């Protein structure tokens, strides 16, 4: 009978409003929790098949979901490894068991933000026990084992093996002006020496000494020099490479630049790139002396001897002083020697239905059937936002709105309770008719 359906509908109303009250309580309790995404409810009416001249109340049902798509405000912090996503997307993390298991068995969770600090093993983790995952990179900064549709290529980010680092010098650029008058007839023929510090593969400081000796003609100017290279790390001593260089003295736009390089010994000269390749005690090295017609390397102009543009890569052994994560998601180690080294790349995870993710403890989420397939993007590309360091995401809870909803929920619950009470009184009156 319709009076019974009224009772059932009101009981359903009490139940769904109690559920809504629970979500409001959760939202208010986590209003200061970083990365918290508010819970919400969706009420749906239940319609029963009706008979003519009668109506049966179907009641109401409720579904609960996390509004994972909602973006919380970002606040600046003093921690370089405090991370948040500015825009759509989540960070990949795992639990403690995932740090020792195979990649195929590693639990994967996703978080919108996190304050990650190195633990006793150097692994970046939150205080709640979530470990940051990333792709490893090689010495050149290229990503290794990159798989974008699953987490098999991700590994826990570990900074401890990089406490000390030494980077070998592989390239020296030599921007030097040799005085044009030194190759004139009657000049002294004194050599010009350029010592250049470099670092071997163990971070030790060595010296590469390049000596330029002018060739003195009987008359006029030769515009020619003989160059020798010595390496302090060469225990045998002596010259390890040499070459002759002639400069262009014509009245053209290339005047003063290299005309040609000849008599190369102990190395190989590439006239296209201007690179002179040789081997020092620590391995192969390249001296960029300039290509013919190029004024960027060695020049011979009517000025003083001037080694004013000498640069090199590599660094001496350095102690790790800081870890930073840039907007591209690259984890960089910074050393007291001034050297920076890229260690990992943190991707940004996305699924078609963020609100379909399964909520877990510690503001983390897991893939579910309703979320869709996982895909990892580079930071700031595709559909996802940017990895932001020195920042945390605030809770998406608006306390004022939640309190307003609390009042509405209380009124709705009270109204349904009144209906139950009324139905009870009506049923009592009906039972009294039989007396």
Mean pLDDT of 51-60: 77
Q: What are the tokens at 323?
A: 């870890």
- Alpha-carbon separation of residue 273 from 33, 254, 294, 311, 434 (angstroms): 57, 16, 10, 17, 109
pLDDT tens column, 143-168: 887 889 999 999 999 988 766 667 78
Nearest Cα to 335, choosing from 166, 92, 120, 100?
Answer: 166
> Are the C-beta atoms of 143 and 345 separated by less than 8 Å?
yes
Residue 113 has pLDDT above 70, yes or no: yes
64: Cβ–Cβ under 8 A, 6 or more apart, which residues?
Answer: 19, 23, 39, 40, 41, 42
pLDDT tens column, 4-29: 788 888 888 899 999 999 999 999 99
Nearest Cα to 132, choosing from 165, 77, 101, 91?
Answer: 91
pLDDT tier at 434 (50, 70, 90 boundaries)? low
pLDDT at 435: 61
284: Cβ–Cβ under 8 A, 6 or more apart, which residues?
Answer: 170, 277, 278
Distance separating alpha carbons of residues 151 and 288, to the nearest angstrom:
42
If you average pLDDT over every residue of the chain, what do you get? Answer: 90
> Are the C-beta atoms of 165 and 292 separated by less than 8 Å?
no
Residue 331 has pLDDT above 80, yes or no: yes
Pairing assessment for the beta strands 330-335 and 340-345 based on DSSP bridges: antiparallel
pLDDT tens column, 166-199: 778 999 999 999 999 999 999 999 999 999 999 8
Residue 328 has pLDDT above 80, yes or no: yes
Q: What are phi and psi of 302, to 5 degrees?
A: -75, 70
pLDDT at 387: 96
pLDDT at 236: 80
Residue 53 has pLDDT above 90, yes or no: no
Mean pLDDT of 85-104: 94
Nearest Cα to 331, choosing from 130, 85, 128, 158?
Answer: 158
Residues facing residue 280 across a β-bridge: 283
Q: What percent of the chain has pLDDT over 90?
A: 68
Q: What are the tokens at 307?
A: 């080694």
Q: What are the tokens at 363?
A: 């503001």
pLDDT at 164: 66
Number of residues that this document lists for the chain = 435
- Alpha-carbon separation of residue 130 from 93, 110, 321 (angstroms): 6, 10, 24
pLDDT at 160: 82
């Amino acid at each position: 009978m319709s009076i019974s359906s009224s009772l059932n509908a009101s009981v359903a109303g009490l139940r769904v409003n109690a559920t809504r009250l629970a979500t409001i309580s959760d939202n208010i309790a986590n209003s200061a929790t970083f990365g918290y995404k508010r819970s919400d409810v969706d009420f749906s009416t239940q319609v029963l098949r009706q008979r003519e001249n009668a109506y049966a109340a179907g009641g109401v049902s409720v579904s609960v979901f996390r509004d994972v798509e909602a973006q919380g405000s970002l606040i600046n912090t003093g921690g370089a490894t405090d991370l948040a996503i500015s825009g759509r997307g989540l960070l990949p993390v795992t639990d403690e068991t995932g740090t020792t298991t195979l990649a195929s068995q590693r639990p994967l969770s996703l978080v919108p933000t996190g304050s990650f600090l190195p633990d006793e093993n150097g692994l970046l983790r939150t205080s709640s026990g979530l470990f940051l995952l990333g792709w490893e990179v090689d010495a050149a900064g290229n990503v290794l084992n990159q798989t974008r549709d699953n987490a098999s290529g991700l590994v826990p980010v570990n900074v401890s093996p990089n406490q000390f680092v030494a980077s070998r010098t592989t390239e020296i650029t030599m921007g030097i002006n040799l005085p044009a008058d030194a190759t004139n007839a009657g000049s002294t023929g004194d050599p010009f020496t350029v010592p250049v510090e470099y670092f071997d593969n163990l971070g030790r400081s060595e010296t590469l000494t390049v000596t330029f000796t002018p060739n003195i003609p009987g008359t006029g100017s030769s515009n020619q020099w003989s160059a020798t290279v010595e390496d302090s790390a060469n225990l045998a001593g002596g010259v390890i490479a040499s070459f002759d260089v002639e400069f262009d003295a014509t009245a053209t736009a290339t005047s003063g630049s290299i005309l040609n390089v000849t008599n190369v010994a102990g190395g190989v000269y590439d006239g296209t790139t201007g690179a002179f390749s040789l081997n020092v005690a620590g391995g192969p090295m390249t001296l960029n002396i300039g290509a013919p017609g190029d004024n960027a390397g060695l020049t011979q102009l009517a000025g003083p001897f001037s080694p004013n543009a000498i640069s090199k890569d590599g660094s001496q052994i350095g102690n790790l002083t800081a870890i930073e994560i840039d907007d591209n998601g690259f984890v960089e180690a910074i050393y007291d020697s001034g050297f920076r080294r890229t260690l990992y790349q943190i991707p940004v995870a996305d699924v078609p239905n963020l609100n379909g993710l399964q909520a877990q403890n510690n503001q983390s989420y897991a893939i579910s059937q309703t979320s869709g397939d996982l895909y990892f993007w580079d930071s700031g590309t595709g559909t996802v936002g940017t990895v932001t360091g020195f920042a945390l995401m605030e809770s998406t809870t608006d306390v004022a709105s939640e309190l307003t909803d609390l009042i509405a929920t209380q009124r709705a619950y009270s109204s349904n309770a009144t209906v139950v009470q009324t139905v009870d009184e009506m049923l009592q009156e009906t039972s009294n008719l039989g007396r």
